[in-house]
A and B are shown apart, each in its own frame.
Chain A
Amino acid sequence: MITWRALLKRFLSDPVAICAAVVLLALILMAVLAPVLAPQNPYDLMQLDIMDSEMPPSWQPGGDPRFLLGTDTQGRGVLSTIMYGTGISLLIGVGAVLLSGVLGITLGLIAGYKGGGIDAFLMRLADIQMSLSTLMIAIIALALFQAAFDANVYADYAIIMLIVIIGVAEWPKFARTVRSSVLGEKNKEYVDAARVIGLPARKVMWGHILPNTLTPVMVISTIQVAEAIMTEAALSFLGLGMPVDRPSLGSLIRSGFEFVFSGSTWITFYPALVLIALILALNLLGDWLRDVMNPKLRRGDD
Chain B
Amino acid sequence: MSAPIVETRNLQVRFPLPTHFLSREKPVLHALSGVDVQITQGETFCVVGESGCGKTTLGRAIIGLNKPSGGEVYFKGQRIDQMDETTRKPIRRDMQMVFQNPYASLNPRRTVFDTLAEPINHLMPEKTKDEVRAQVEDVLAATGCDPSWQRRLPHEFSGGQRQRIAIARALVTNPAFIVADEPISALDVSIQAQILNLLADLQAERGLTYLFITHDLSVVQHFGTRVAVMYLGQVMELATAETIFADPKHPYTKLLLDAIPKLEGGSFERPRTPGELPDPVNPPPGCPFAPRCPLAAERCRTERPKLREISNSGSMAACHFAQ
Contacts and interface: CB of A to CB of B under 8 A. Distances in A.
Interface residues of B, number: 29
A197 B122 contact: yes
A196 to B, nearest CB: 5
A130 B21 CA distance: 23
B170 to A, nearest CB: 8
A211 B106 CA distance: 13
A208 interface: yes
Contacts of B166: 193
Given A1-B155, A211-B109, A212-B109, A196 B104 contact: no
Contacts of B105: 188-190, 192-193
Given A1-B108, A212-B108, A196 B97 contact: yes
Nearest to B102: A189
User: Could you say which interface size class chain A belongs to?
Assistant: 10 to 19
Contact of B104 (A189, A197, A198, A208): A189
A272 to B, nearest CB: 42
Looking at chain B's contact residues, the main secondary structure is mixed
Nearest to B173: A197
Interface stretch (B88-96, B245-253, B270-278): B88-96
B85 interface: yes
Given A188-B104, A189-B99, A189-B100, A196 B63 contact: yes
A194 interface: yes
Given A189-B100, A194-B118, A195-B65, A1 B109 contact: yes
Given A189-B99, A212-B107, A198 B65 contact: no
B55 interface: no
B33 interface: no
B116 to A, nearest CB: 11
Given A193-B106, A198-B89, A212-B109, 18 more contacts: A1-B108, A120-B21, A189-B99, A189-B100, A190-B105, A190-B106, A190-B108, A192-B60, A192-B97, A194-B118, A195-B64, A196-B65, A196-B92, A196-B95, A197-B96, A197-B119, A198-B64, A208-B107
Interface of A: 1, 120, 188-190, 192-200, 208, 211-212, 302
Interface of B: 21, 60, 63-65, 85, 88-89, 92, 95-97, 99-101, 104-109, 118-119, 122-123, 155, 166, 169, 173
